[in-house]
Amino acid sequence: MVSRRLKPENFEIIKKDLIENTKCSLNEQFYSLTMQINKIDYILKIQFADTNKIILWDALEINNNTYDKNEYMIIKNDRILMAMLDIILYQKTKMFIN
């Protein structure tokens, strides 16, 4: 799990976009964001905190290269998750996150 506190205006931009363009699990209050990096699909589990904070709990890597079925791997490495979160933040706000 990784998190990042954002400026209020950036937080609102990202929150609005994710609410409109992702699926929400009602009983868990997580948003599932699908993204692709290097032709590999990922499903990211995202949650918003009250204080302009976005939390990335984990990511699910979907390997579509097998013949009969998909293979899945849960990613919990904080460095990889932070890199994924930074990609999302950069794409949504078009700004550099320090």
Of the listed ranges 7-11, 48-52, 92-96, the least confidently predicted one is: 92-96
Q: What is the pLDDT of residue 95?
A: 53
Are 67 and 90 contacting, i.e. CB atoms less than 8 angstroms apart? no
Please tell me which residue, 82 or 31, carries the higher pLDDT value: 82
Q: pTM (2 decimals)?
A: 0.83
Distance CA 61, CA 71 (A): 8
Q: What is the mean pLDDT of the chain?
A: 86
At residue 81, what is the residue type? Answer: L
Beta strands in 6-97 (DSSP E): 23-25, 30-37, 40-49, 53-63, 71-75
Residue 59, burial from CB neighbour count under 10 angstroms (0-12, 13-18, 19+)? buried
Q: What is the spatial distance between Cα 20 and Cα 6, in angstroms, rounded to a whole number?
A: 19
Domain map (residue ranges) of the chain: 2-92
Length of the chain, in residues: 98
Question: What is the per-residue pLDDT across 37-66, written as a single tens digit (0 to 9) for each?
Answer: 888 899 999 999 988 999 999 999 998 766
